[in-house]
A and B are shown apart, each in its own frame.
Chain A
Amino acid sequence: MVTTSTPIKAESRDLNFYYNGGHKALKGITMPLYEKKITALIGPSGCGKSTFLRCFNRMHDLYPGNRYDGQIIMHPDNTNVLANGVDPIEVRMRISMVFQKPNPFPKSIYENVAYGLRVRGENNKRVVDDKVEEALKGAALWDEVKNRLHDLAFNLSGGQQQRLCIARALATDPEIMLFDEPTSALDPIATANIEELMSELRNKLTILVVTHNMQQAARVSDYTAYMYLGELIEYGDTRSEEHTSELQSQDVIPRPTRKETEDYITGKFG
C-alpha cells in the first residue's frame, strides 16, 4: 500500500507512554513518518493522538513523572529522540510545533518570529531580519504584517496569530513540524488558509498533524493513522484508492479494514 521509494524521516518503534501516576496512554505504537509528506492522526477524544504527537518533541519532559518506553528514530542520523542521552532541547531544535490555540508571546510580531533564533544565540540583525521575512513569507503572513512588524502580536486576528505561530516554528528551519489540532480554534476561512499553508510547507519539511476533523485529514494528509484507546488501529495512504470511494469521509482510509475505523470515520461513534 505504501510506496517504498519515499524515504522515512522518522518512525516510532513500539512506543509506550505512561503519564505521571502510571496511566498507560500509548500502547506499542509503531508508525513511520515519510519525508516531506503530511501524516494525519485521527481518532476520538482521549485516544492518545496528542500524547503521541507530543512525544516527538519531548514536551512530556516538562512535567514530572511522565515516562517513555520505546523509540522514536529520526533519519538519516538514526537518533532516538527519546533516549536518555539525547537532550530534549536538541530535539525541539529539530522538530518544531504549532499548538491548538494560537499562543503568540506578548511581544511584537517581529520578536515572536525571531524568538527561535534568539534562543540559538543569533543576534546579527541582518541575519535575523532575513530569517523573519523568510519565515513570515513561508507562513503566508508577510504581506499582511510587513508594515507593522513591531506591533504587538495580540493585535492580529486568530487566524493571523496561528500563521504567526507557524512562522515562529518555521524560522529555525526544522526538519519536522508538529501540528496539534491547529485549526480547532479558527473559523472556516482561517482554517482553509492554514490547510493551504500546510500543503505548501510539505515541499520543505515533514508534517505530523493531529486533527479532529475527518475532512481535514482527507484534504491535507498523505497518510492517515487512526488511533483508539492508546493504540494505533490502522495506518494507510490517504489517497491511494480515492477513485474507488463514494463518500468523502471514506477518503481518509479508503477501505478501512477494521470495523472500529469504519465506525469512526462514518460517524457511528466519536
Chain B
Amino acid sequence: MSNQASVLDNLEEVRAMIRRHKFNDYVFSIIGLIALMIGLLTLLTLFVDLVMDGYPRFTFEFLSEYPSRRAAHAGLLSAWIGSLLVMIVTFLSAVPMGVAAGLYLEEYAPKNWFSDLIEINVTNLAGVPSIVYGLLALGLFVYILDLGQSILTAGLTLGLLILPVVIVATREAVRGIPVAIREAAYAVGATKWQVVLHHVLHYSFGGILTGVIIGMARALGETAPLITIGALTFIAFLPPSPITDTPPFLNFEWLSSGFTVMPIQMFNWLSRPDHAFHMNAAATGALIIVVTLLMNGTAIWLRYRIRKNIKW
C-alpha cells in the first residue's frame, strides 16, 4: 500500500514537472510571435504609410505622363518603361548564363578543391554590395567596352548582380532531384546531356524559375549601381520602341538609349524640397513594393503548380 502511495505522490511531482516544462513552450512561443510581429508590422506600417501618402497619385495619368516640374502633372512613364526594358536585358543576360553555369557546376564539373573554391566564391558574390557591381560596370561596360550610359549597360550590370542568385538557385533546384531518377535515366543509356535536357532541367524548372523571379525582383529595386553607371534622373522622352511596324519588326536602338528606372525616379522626387513631389515618391514606392510582391507571389504559385505533379 505504501508503495502505491509513493507512486501517487510521485505522479503529482511528474505533473508539476510537465507543467514547468510546458511553461517554457509558452514563453518561447510568445517571444517568437513578438519577434515575427516586429518585423512584419514594421514592413506593413511602411507599406500602409506609402499607400496613404501616395494615394492621390494612384491614377492612370501617373503612369502615362513624363516627369514634370509641376508635381501634380509629373508621371512615371519614362521610369516604368525604363525599368521594363532594363529588366528584359537583365533577364536575357543573367538567366541563360546563370542556368548554364549552375548546371555545369552541378552536373559536369569534376568535384574537387577547385570546384569547391568556385562554389564558395559564387555564394560570396551573391552578398557583394550592389554599388561594387556599379563600379565594376562603370569600368567594364561604360569605359572599356564603350557601351555608354545605356539601357544595355544597366541591364548587363543588374544581370551580373543577380547572376550568382540564379546560379545558386539552379544548383539547389538541381540538387533536389533524387539520385534514383538520374540513375534510372542513365541506366537506359542516356548521355549526360540527355539526362540534363530531359530530366534535370525539366524537374528543376520550378525551382530555377523561383530563383530567377526573386533575383529579378531584387534587380527591380536596385538603385545604387545604376546611379554609378550614370542613369539619368529626369527624362522626358522614351527610348526608341523595340518593336516597329516595318520589317524586320525589331529594333535594337533602344539598347543604347539613355534611361531612368523607377527607384531612381523615386529618389529624385524624394530629394526635392517641395512636399508635393514626396507624394509621387510614395506612390512610386508603393508601386515597386506591389510589383515585387506580385513577382514573388507568382514565383510561389508557379512552384506550387509545377511541383504538384512531381513527388519524390
By a beta-carbon cutoff of 8 Å, the part of chain A in contact with chain B is: 57, 59, 62, 64, 89-90, 92-93, 96-97, 99, 101, 103-106, 115-116, 118-120, 152, 154, 165, 168-169, 172
The answer to whether A62 touches B183 (Cβ under 8 A) is: yes
By a beta-carbon cutoff of 8 Å, the part of chain B in contact with chain A is: 110-111, 178, 180-191, 194, 198-199, 203, 309-311
**CA of A97 to CA of B189, assembled, Å:** 10
Tell me, rounded to whole Å, the shortest Cβ–Cβ distance linking A245 to chain B: 36
The answer to whether A105 touches B188 (Cβ under 8 A) is: no
The answer to whether B185 touches A115 (Cβ under 8 A) is: yes
Tell me, rounded to whole Å, the shortest Cβ–Cβ distance linking B128 to chain A: 31
Chain A residues within 8 Å of B182, by CB: 62
Q: A64-B110, A154-B311 are in contact. Are A92 and B203 (CB under 8 A)?
A: no
**Can you list 29 pairs linking A and B with CB atoms under 8 Å apart?**
A59-B183, A62-B183, A62-B186, A64-B110, A89-B189, A92-B189, A93-B189, A96-B188, A99-B180, A99-B183, A103-B180, A103-B184, A104-B184, A105-B181, A105-B184, A105-B185, A106-B309, A115-B185, A115-B190, A115-B198, A118-B198, A119-B190, A119-B191, A152-B309, A154-B311, A168-B184, A168-B188, A172-B188, A172-B189
Tell me, rounded to whole Å, the shortest Cβ–Cβ distance linking B239 to chain A: 43
The answer to whether B183 touches A106 (Cβ under 8 A) is: no
The answer to whether B187 touches A59 (Cβ under 8 A) is: yes
**CA of A169 to CA of B189, assembled, Å:** 10
> Which 8 pairs across A and B sit closest by C-beta, in order of nearness?
A116-B188, A103-B180, A93-B189, A92-B189, A97-B187, A106-B310, A103-B184, A119-B190
**CA of A78 to CA of B181, assembled, Å:** 31
The answer to whether A96 touches B194 (Cβ under 8 A) is: no
The answer to whether A103 touches B181 (Cβ under 8 A) is: yes
The answer to whether A106 touches B311 (Cβ under 8 A) is: yes
**CA of A152 to CA of B187, assembled, Å:** 21
Chain B residues within 8 Å of A90, by CB: 189
Chain B residues within 8 Å of A92, by CB: 186-189
**CA of A106 to CA of B181, assembled, Å:** 9
Chain B residues within 8 Å of A168, by CB: 184, 188
The answer to whether B187 touches A169 (Cβ under 8 A) is: yes
